Amino acid sequence: MSNPVLRFAQVSGQGIDWQLRRNCSVTPAQLAWFYGSICLVSLAVAGLCWHLGARLVMVFTGLELLAIGVAFLMYARHAADGERISLRGSRLLVELEQAGQLQRVEFRREWVRVEPKVGHQSLIELSGQGRTFEVGRFVRPELRPALANEIRGALRAM
């Protein structure tokens, strides 16, 4: 299979890899730096208010920074979420990472079926050997049929 035919995958050595990731505009490290800068500015203003006698501002600043910190932490937990599909020889390896949890399923290439689940804009179901696994969470719904066709074609061509 040649490279121009593959839209979502990368060919490397003896295999094909699909890296399907969440579209994140900010990495967790960038988010930590941004949160630190927010803390510095907010605490500086709250410190000035404290110095001028408005002591309650510091309490609300602390609550605000705690709420923002929790929201940023929830975002950062899912920023690295993604799916990886690897076709190597006679094996298809599928990995899903969500919130730091890794799920892994391995199929024999000859026995894998690639089907869209029932319903419009649904995920792609890989099944074989009595197991099923859904992929395509991080691909726009209208592009999932193209991804399914690409996986099917790669399974046949290998």
Non-local (6+) Cβ contacts of 154 within 8 A are 1, 6, 9, 16, 87
**In the chain, which ranges are continuous DSSP H helix?**
28-51, 56-79, 144-157
- Phi, psi of 118, deg, nearest 5: -65, 130
pLDDT digits (tens, 9 = 90+) for 42-55: 999 999 999 999 99
Hey, what are 128's tokens? 């074989």
Q: pLDDT band at residue 1, thresholds of 50, 70 and 90? A: very low
Which residue, of 46, 64, 79, is where some domain finishes? 79
Could you tell me if 104 and 126 lie in one domain?
yes
- pLDDT tens readout for residues 52-85: 999 999 999 999 999 999 999 998 888 889 999 9
Domain of 92, CATH number, reads 2.30.29
Task: Please report, for residues 29, 124, 137, 140, 145, the alpha-carbon distance to residue 121 in angstroms, rounded to integers and kept in the order given.
Answer: 33, 9, 11, 9, 9
Give the pLDDT mean for 86-110: 94
Spatial CB neighbours of 76, under 8 Å, sequence gap ≥ 6: 28, 31, 32
Do 44 and 108 lie in one domain? The reply is: no
Q: Do residues 75 and 142 share a domain?
A: no
Per the structure, the complete domain to which residue 109 belongs is given by 3-22+80-157
Q: At what angle do helices 28-51 and 56-79 cross, to 10 degrees?
A: 180
In terms of domains, do 138 and 100 share one? yes
Number of structural domains (the chain) is 2
